[in-house]
Amino acid sequence: GVRPLKSSIRYSVEDQISQILADAAQEQELVQEVLLDYEGSSLLVDFFVEGELVIQKSYPVVEKIGLLRKATKDEQQALTAVHESGHAVAQIVLFKQIPDLVLSVAAESDSLGMVIVQPIEILNLEKMKRRAAVYLAGQEAERMVFGEDLLSAGSYGDIEQATAMVIGLLKESGFGGTAIRYANTIGEYGDSYHDTKEIEDKAKVILEEAQKQAHRVVRQEEKLLVEMAAILAEHPSLLAEEVNALVKQYGS
């Protein structure tokens, strides 16, 4: 997938860039091209001058990706397990779709976990509302398992995505009932309508309903969610076939 590829490049290549450039500068002739390859646990670099190989060097690569993907079995993984199980269960119930992968430990530095699903081919108003509920189901899962006072701050990204999606589609795709393009900011001039209060009030209602729907889903599928989270608290991931087996055993 794209995320592991980006992480692999960052940890295996970018960590060594400064040393590769320093070694290139030490050559008597100006190095014009470098070719990078990966072998075992080493980064192999060929240095070229006018198309001719002048030197090859090997650089050690720390297997950070593997370390990041190992289960930590700590409080953070338990929290992430509950949160991501909420997203997964909502996706299953609201879209009748088994996620390809559910992660409670992720290699990406900006992500603690994730649910990987096939993208929605056609997005309409009704699917938008369900999608918003999926975004908000992570926090609702935390609320159910841990209680209101122990909600984490980790749902800010989900809330931001849900809000941006709903407001964006209402303003730009006519989902608000009127075929008008609304301005995204007060300072946005040109061919846009700037009186956005009515459309933002509609967005607020949709998001409140999405939160209620997410709440109903996680309560309805509490057994499935808890069983899924228990596994993800001990193991870093669940594949589609494993999720499907849990649904058959514990889903309503």
- Please list the residues that pair with 46 across neighbouring strands: 35, 56
**What pLDDT was estimated at residue 26?**
84
**What pLDDT was estimated at residue 100?**
94
Using the predicted structure, report yes or no on whether residue 41 has a pLDDT greater than 50: yes
What is the full DSSP assignment across 123-189? --HHHHHHHHHHHHHHHHHHHHHH-GGG--GGGHHHHHHHHHHHHHHHHHSSTTSS--PBPSSTT--
Helix 125-146, helix 156-172: angle, nearest 10 = 160
| Dihedral angle of Cα 14, 15, 18, 20, to the nearest 10 degrees | -80
| pLDDT-based confidence at residue 4 (cuts at 50, 70, 90) | low
Amino acid letter at 143? R
**What pLDDT was estimated at residue 189?**
66
Lowest mean pLDDT among 31-45, 138-152, 219-233, 236-250: 31-45
**What pLDDT was estimated at residue 74?**
80
Which among 215, 218, 129, 211 has a CA at the least distance from the CA of 165?
129
Using the predicted structure, report yes or no on whether residue 71 has a pLDDT greater than 80: no
| pLDDT-based confidence at residue 68 (cuts at 50, 70, 90) | very low
- Please list the residues that pair with 101 across neighbouring strands: 116, 239
Mean pLDDT, range 175-195, rounded to an integer: 78
**What pLDDT was estimated at residue 16?**
81
How far is 232 from 103, CA to CA, in rounded Å?
7
pLDDT digits (tens, 9 = 90+) for 77-94: 899 999 999 999 999 999
Mean pLDDT, range 25-45, rounded to an integer: 85
**What pLDDT was estimated at residue 66?**
52
